[in-house]
Structure 1
Amino acid sequence: MINAGRGIPCALAFIAGCSLAGQATETDRIFNAGLQKAFQNHEQTLEKQRPPLRFISGTTVETCREYLAKTETEAVAEGVDNRTVSGEYLVCDSVAALNQGKKTGGIQYSPESYGKQLMARLDLRTFSSSLGPRVTDEQYTLADLALDAVDHSRFQVVFDSKNWHFALEVVASRDLNGNGRDDWLLWLVDEAKAGNYRDYEVLVAYDVGSSGPIQVEPFSP
């Protein structure tokens, strides 16, 4: 959770309504322009100076390289300000995921609207979010919940109400589990517009071309 009174960085294009005008083409099946640039400039991304992020031992990191090494053995510390900073490091996990994945060969699963697929098929029971209390075993997709303020675009689904902003963006497609099928890398933002709740996550949806619900889990380097 992070303090709503602080400015929320626009390093991730979808956070807090920041512009998506820089949306990438589908080069390398990376759909988000910021992530595409970070991936293409891998060494610069690893060494770029970022705001200090604290781990539970009290140790802080300031680069993706330090962050990825530290997350192998230790969790990021809780705390309002520290959760704010953690949003700056989602790109680190994302680049790591893309490096361990493979470009999917053959026929690729490329729906006309990834956001529409998320709205209709994403199983909200498979990850923690502020929408959890609304979900049941019968109603577990955004379409099922019939929220008034839900909309989707090609790569994104957004629930944006007076009090809340929830967004999921498909930022890339890779074979992340080595079975030759498309998997999606997603960015989650889940934030109260008034209050302290904030959550930013890198999620993975495996074998998305299969029929049935899309299940996701947090990415683990």
Structure 2
Amino acid sequence: MRTMALSVFLVWAVTACASTGDAREEVLVFNPELREALAHYSATMAAPRVPMAMASGATVSSCDEYLAQGSRAGTASVPANNTASLDYVICDSVAALHDALPAPLDAANARGETLADRLDLRSFRSSRYQRTTDEAYTLRTVTDQPLDIDTYSAALDSPGWYFKLEVVAVTDIDGSGQADWLVWMVDQSRGGSYLSVVPLVVHDPSIVGLLNATPLAR
């Protein structure tokens, strides 16, 4: 069940394509599916996807069409898009990495612990946002249940909810000259149909103190 959310939207037809030679080697990518998609950038952009309605009235069915329509900001607010949008998280992510600037090497080796203890959940919207207070605002402090933490991720896997933050890549996304983390947030109700996967940018994670994240802007 834990991997279901990611597998839903990481099914795209690029694995059989030959490399186009347009990978960005200065981008540090940890997630294997995202690494493969970036290595085959042109094929990823053109691969057919679940049709999705846009606010303009157009229907898109590829990353190229989706990004041309304004990406996430241009999607229509219709129920069918709740599922279809999962197939386009990879589009936002690959496009951001392809356009990113070179950044100093990120030598961090405990990113999961950092996500659990230093990322301010008040800085972006999620199911955990309503649980934050002035005293409790990190993933570890807003829950009394143990977290699943590894090198790249921190997850709350409870009977009622699944919430995961995963560092999938490192590069300078916001143009600050410092490395940023591209994070995939999986937010899923165990008892209902709600499922959201959102790419976030954790800005300048090398700083001391709390970290902030914002939705990936395209």
| Aligned-CA RMSD value | 2.1
Amino acid at match of 1:98: L
* 1:146 to partner: Cα distance: 3.8
Is the contact between residue 8 and residue 84 of structure 1 (CA under 8 Å) also seen in structure 2? Answer: no
Gaps of 5+ in 2: 11-24
> 3-state DSSP class of the match of 2:174?
coil
In structure 1, what is the equivalent of residue 186 of structure 2?
Answer: 189
**Cα 1:73/1:216, change in 2 over 3 Å:** closer
Task: Give 1:85's aligned residue.
Answer: 84
* Cα distance between partner residues in 2 of 1:77 and 1:29: 33
Structure with the larger RCO, 1 or 2 (CA within 8 Å, 6+ apart): 1
Superposed counterparts of 1:58-69, under 5 Å = 58-69=57-68
Deviation at 1:45, TM superposition (A): 0.3
> 3-state SS of the aligned residue for 1:213?
coil
Runs of 4+ with deviation above 6 angstroms: none
Q: Give the corresponding residue for 1:134.
A: 131
Confirm or deny: 8 A CA contact 1:165 1:193 kept in the other structure: yes
Aligned-pair identity (%): 36
Answer yes or no: is the 8 Å Cα contact 1:38–1:95 preserved in 2. Answer: yes
TM-score, structure 2 as length reference:
0.85
SS in 1 for 2:102: coil
- In 1, the alpha carbon distance for the partners of 2:208 and 2:158 equals 30
Correspondence for 1:4 = none
Three-state SS of the structure 2 residue aligned to 1:145 is coil
- Three-state SS of the structure 2 residue aligned to 1:154 is coil
Classify the secondary structure of the residue corresponding to 1:39.
helix
Tell me the residue number matched to 1:170. Answer: 167
Shift of 1:49: 0.3
With the length of structure 1 as denominator, give the TM-score of the two structures: 0.84
Using the alignment, how far apart are the partners of 1:172 and 1:207 within structure 2? 13
Which residue pairs with 1:53 in the alignment?
52
What amino acid sits opposite 1:175 in the alignment? Answer: D
Question: Contact (CA 8 Å) 2:5, 2:186: kept in 1 or not?
Answer: no
* Structure 1 SS opposite 2:74: coil
Q: How far, CA to CA, are the matches of 1:199 and 1:12 in structure 2?
A: 11
Q: Structure 2: which amino acid aligns with 1:197? A: Y
The CA deviation at 1:74 is: 5.5
Q: What does residue range 90-129 of structure 1 map to in structure 2 within 5 Å?
A: 90-105=89-104, 108-129=105-126
**Other-structure match for 2:13:** none
Q: Find the aligned partners of 2:73 and 2:182 in 1 and give their Cα distance.
A: 23
* Higher mean C-alpha deviation, range 43-52 or range 171-180: 171-180
Once the two structures are TM-superposed, the CA of residue 166 in structure 1 deviates from its matched residue by 0.5
* Cα distance change, pair 84–147 in 1 and its aligned pair in 2 (3 A): farther
Aligned residues: 201
Letter in 2 for 1:211: V
